[in-house]
A and B are shown apart, each in its own frame.
Chain A
Amino acid sequence: MADSGTATLDYEPLAEGGLRLVMKGTLNAAGIQQLWRQVMRQVAQSDPAALEIDARGVESLDAAGMALLLELKAQQEQRRQDFRIRGLRDDLSDLMKLFDPGPPAPPKPGPGLLVRFVHRVGEISHGVLVGFHTQVNFLGEIFVRLLSVLVRPSRLRWADTFLIAEKAGANAVGIVALMGFLIGLILAFQSAIGMRKFGAEIYVADLVVLVLFRELGPLITAFILTSRSGSAFAAELGTMKVNEEVDALVTMGVDPVQFLALPRLVAAICVMPLLTLFNELFGLIGCGLVMRSFGFPVATYIDQIQEAASLGDLFGGLAKTFVFGGLIAGIGCLRGLQTGKSPSAVGDSATRAVVSGIVAIVVVDGVFAVMYYYLGI
């Protein structure tokens, strides 16, 4: 189709509003790309009652040439007007019959804009509610399985659990520590700007340690775990779903939730508090570095944070991380098991796992904040 084409075209009016197109030469892609728009415009302008193609001079015809003739034919048929081709070589004519897709199907009349808008809003709202229902259902189901593991620990696949814990936990220590260090450092510098006005730089330590222990430590770690491991869980399980491995488990009588989701849940619940501790420790080191640069001795800084934060602050924050870990793994696994069949399905599941994970973490964190306020923690 890339050969250069030498096609020529002439228009001759016929009696009673007809039009004759005299085509000559090689009708191929190279020639047609020049002629296509010109022919279509000419035919549209003259709106002929009958269109006749004189193809006696056509030497060869490729798919593009055929497409031009067939498109003209389809247009004439749509307008219920005559179309005929004269003088086309028999072999080319037979070839055209083979390729002729017939007139395109008329577009189906769709509903109006308002109806479509209401329909779409309804569809999205329904999707959100059903999604929330499924999520709560799944988390409930998996929590019950978790309790059954507490009663009978042998039911859990421990080898898998340790492997997942290593991938989600041990391998994430570097990034969690780095993020903690940087957050501690940034937080200290930013708060020092305000504190300096009152000559109260020493209280930067109080602020950072409380924020880290109570909020940022668990939250930042949870975000890292969601984006690192929640998406990985969804992608792993999604790929297994696409490869029908999940179906194979079901037909072998193995419960996919027990086999796939539970080890991930237990691993995430176990590694989340440990990662949070790392995050907070390195956050304090980052803050310590800034305090040292302000001229405070290390011992003063340590004394200050010991005074400012209680064990209640530390454990209050850590208590949340168990729930966050469960949410991250639960949502990641659910999204993985919900994966569809299209090639983009696994990517969609991973994205949805991260988005729903982050939303769920922030919502639950809010619930904890209200709860701790009333409990005085």
Chain B
Amino acid sequence: MGSDAPPIIQVSDVTVGYDHHIVLKDVTFEVRAGEVFCILGGSGCGKSTLLKHMIGLHRPMAGSILVDGTDIVTAEGEERRALLGRIGVAYQNGALFGSMSLIENICMVLEEFTSLPRQAMQAIARMKMKVVGLQDAGDRMPSELSGGMRKRAAIARALALDPKILFLDEPSAGLDPITAAQLDELIVELSQTLRITFVIVTHELASIFAVADRVIMLDKERQTIIARGSPEELRDRSDDPWVRQFFHRQSSSA
């Protein structure tokens, strides 16, 4: 999917870090419309940091990030708000608001961006819950959910505004293989039926092969992208020892 599609995200010569500490430098890649794009790498390589820059939470030290035609680094005011309405983000631990039920969590986003009547918002929220398979859990509080349910609910909330792009931070982290596989199926289904572009940060091999059209791989030492392509290409054809280790699940001493 999306092999000939135009790019929807363009990351150009981006350097990211905290204070004066550089995490990644001169990173360039693009995500095509409709594809499931995974950002891979070992712990501490800057995957989540890069994602936070792509959704505009942090400003890169250098470079530009174009998301759906808008530079998320420089966009301000209405332009930025409009862009935020076209993207959805599901955080690693769900980041659901603990004092609100799941339906209220979703309605909150709708209240912010639309002027729909309350009944309409609740109907939309119930629809989004149905898509992620939580149609019976709308009145539950986040603390009453299992880890897998919380991730699904986070995706439902991220879907609230019919986003064109969905960013997921480690969606299968901390889940059992069956629940993780179900979540992967959901991602594929959403990608195919709603034609949403997915940008997923992960290091779960099974998930990568189940969902990803294309991946990039980051490395902590070299502070940049060390491989890019489909997961199968990287597994079978990469000469980079680190990439081979990653895809063949070997430790560095092996």
Query: Which of B115, B126, B162 meets A104, CB within 8 Å?
Result: B126
Question: Could you tell me the distance between the alpha carbons of A29 and B116 in the complex, rounded to whole angstroms?
Answer: 7
Question: Could you tell me the distance between the alpha carbons of A146 and B42 in the complex, rounded to whole angstroms?
Answer: 48
Q: Provide the residues of chain A in CB contact with B120, threshold 8 Å.
A: 32-33, 36, 64, 67-68, 71
* Residue pair A2, B82 in contact (C-beta under 8 Å): yes
Q: Which residues of A contact B (CB under 8 A)?
A: 1-2, 29, 32-33, 36-37, 40, 62-64, 66-68, 70-71, 74, 94-95, 98-102, 104-105, 341-344
CB neighbors of A among B132-150 (8 A): 135-136, 141, 143
Question: Could you tell me the distance between the alpha carbons of A67 and B119 in the complex, rounded to whole angstroms?
Answer: 9
- Any A CB within 8 A of the CB of B130: yes
* From A36, A37, A344, residue with most partner B Cβ within 10 Å: A36
Q: Provide the residues of chain B in CB contact with A342, threshold 8 Å.
A: 98, 141, 143
* Residue pair B85, A1 in contact (C-beta under 8 Å): yes
- Any A CB within 8 A of the CB of B253: no
CB neighbors of A among B188-216 (8 A): 193-194
* Residue pair A62, B162 in contact (C-beta under 8 Å): yes
* Residue pair A100, B85 in contact (C-beta under 8 Å): no
Query: Which of B85, B113, B130, B143 meets A99, CB within 8 Å?
Result: B130
A-B contact pairs, 18 of them (CB 8 A): A1-B113, A1-B114, A29-B114, A36-B116, A36-B120, A62-B162, A63-B127, A64-B116, A64-B120, A67-B124, A68-B120, A70-B127, A99-B128, A101-B127, A342-B141, A342-B143, A343-B98, A343-B143
Query: Which of A67, A341, A344 meets B123, CB within 8 Å?
Result: A67
| Min C-beta distance of A23 to chain B, whole Å | 15
- Any A CB within 8 A of the CB of B129: yes
| Min C-beta distance of A38 to chain B, whole Å | 10
Q: Provide the residues of chain A in CB contact with B126, threshold 8 Å.
A: 101, 104
Q: Which residues of B contact A (CB under 8 A)?
A: 82, 85, 98-99, 113-117, 119-120, 123-124, 126-131, 135-136, 141, 143, 160-162, 193-194
A1-B135 CB under 8 A given contacts A63-B124, A95-B193, A98-B193: no
Question: Could you tell me the distance between the alpha carbons of A307 and B122 in the complex, rounded to whole angstroms?
Answer: 74
* Residue pair A2, B85 in contact (C-beta under 8 Å): yes
Q: Provide the residues of chain A in CB contact with B131, threshold 8 Å.
A: 98-99
* Residue pair B123, A33 in contact (C-beta under 8 Å): no
* Residue pair A63, B162 in contact (C-beta under 8 Å): yes
Query: What does DSSP make chain B's interface, helix, strand, loop or mixed?
Result: helix
Query: Which of B82, B123, B141, B194 meets A70, CB within 8 Å?
Result: B123
* Residue pair A344, B99 in contact (C-beta under 8 Å): yes
A64-B193 CB under 8 A given contacts A2-B85, A2-B113: no
Question: Could you tell me the distance between the alpha carbons of A223 and B89 in the complex, rounded to whole angstroms?
Answer: 45
* Residue pair A33, B114 in contact (C-beta under 8 Å): yes
Query: Which of B115, B135, B160, B161 meets A33, CB within 8 Å?
Result: B115
**5 shortest interchain CB distances as A-B pairs:** A343-B98, A101-B130, A67-B123, A99-B127, A101-B126
* Residue pair B127, A67 in contact (C-beta under 8 Å): yes
* Residue pair B162, A71 in contact (C-beta under 8 Å): no
Query: Which of A64, A71, A98, A99 meets B114, CB within 8 Å?
Result: A64
Q: Provide the residues of chain A in CB contact with B128, threshold 8 Å.
A: 63, 99
Nearest B residue (CB) for A342: B143
| Min C-beta distance of A11 to chain B, whole Å | 19
| Min C-beta distance of B13 to chain A, whole Å | 31
Question: Could you tell me the distance between the alpha carbons of A32 and B123 in the complex, rounded to whole angstroms?
Answer: 13
Question: Could you tell me the distance between the alpha carbons of A62 and B98 in the complex, rounded to whole angstroms?
Answer: 28
Question: Could you tell me the distance between the alpha carbons of A37 and B141 in the complex, rounded to whole angstroms?
Answer: 29
Question: Could you tell me the distance between the alpha carbons of A29 and B85 in the complex, rounded to whole angstroms?
Answer: 13
Q: Provide the residues of chain B in CB contact with A66, threshold 8 Å.
A: 127
Question: Could you tell me the distance between the alpha carbons of A344 and B143 in the complex, rounded to whole angstroms?
Answer: 11
| Min C-beta distance of B122 to chain A, whole Å | 9
| Min C-beta distance of B67 to chain A, whole Å | 16
| Min C-beta distance of A247 to chain B, whole Å | 17
| Min C-beta distance of A92 to chain B, whole Å | 12
| Min C-beta distance of A24 to chain B, whole Å | 19
* From A101, A102, A342, A344, residue with most partner B Cβ within 10 Å: A101
Question: Could you tell me the distance between the alpha carbons of A1 and B88 in the complex, rounded to whole angstroms?
Answer: 13
| Min C-beta distance of A345 to chain B, whole Å | 9
| Min C-beta distance of B85 to chain A, whole Å | 6
Nearest B residue (CB) for A2: B85
Q: Provide the residues of chain A in CB contact with B162, threshold 8 Å.
A: 1, 62-63
Q: Provide the residues of chain A in CB contact with B115, threshold 8 Å.
A: 33
Query: Which of A33, A104, A105 meets B116, CB within 8 Å?
Result: A33
Question: Could you tell me the distance between the alpha carbons of A94 and B129 in the complex, rounded to whole angstroms?
Answer: 17
Q: Provide the residues of chain B in CB contact with A343, threshold 8 Å.
A: 98-99, 143
Question: Could you tell me the distance between the alpha carbons of A341 and B129 in the complex, rounded to whole angstroms?
Answer: 24
Query: Which of A37, A94, A100 meets B130, CB within 8 Å?
Result: A100
Question: Could you tell me the distance between the alpha carbons of A95 and B159 in the complex, rounded to whole angstroms?
Answer: 14
Question: Could you tell me the distance between the alpha carbons of A70 and B127 in the complex, rounded to whole angstroms?
Answer: 9
Question: Could you tell me the distance between the alpha carbons of A29 and B112 in the complex, rounded to whole angstroms?
Answer: 13
Question: Could you tell me the distance between the alpha carbons of A25 and B113 in the complex, rounded to whole angstroms?
Answer: 22
Question: Could you tell me the distance between the alpha carbons of A260 and B153 in the complex, rounded to whole angstroms?
Answer: 36
Question: Could you tell me the distance between the alpha carbons of A32 and B141 in the complex, rounded to whole angstroms?
Answer: 29
| Min C-beta distance of B108 to chain A, whole Å | 15
Nearest B residue (CB) for A99: B127
| Apart from A29-B116, A40-B119, A342-B143, 4 more pairs, CB < 8 Å | A32-B120, A67-B124, A99-B131, A100-B130
Question: Could you tell me the distance between the alpha carbons of A70 and B141 in the complex, rounded to whole angstroms?
Answer: 25
| Min C-beta distance of B94 to chain A, whole Å | 11
* Residue pair A71, B136 in contact (C-beta under 8 Å): no
| Min C-beta distance of A211 to chain B, whole Å | 43
| Min C-beta distance of A219 to chain B, whole Å | 35
| Min C-beta distance of A1 to chain B, whole Å | 5
* Residue pair B116, A71 in contact (C-beta under 8 Å): no
| Min C-beta distance of A74 to chain B, whole Å | 8
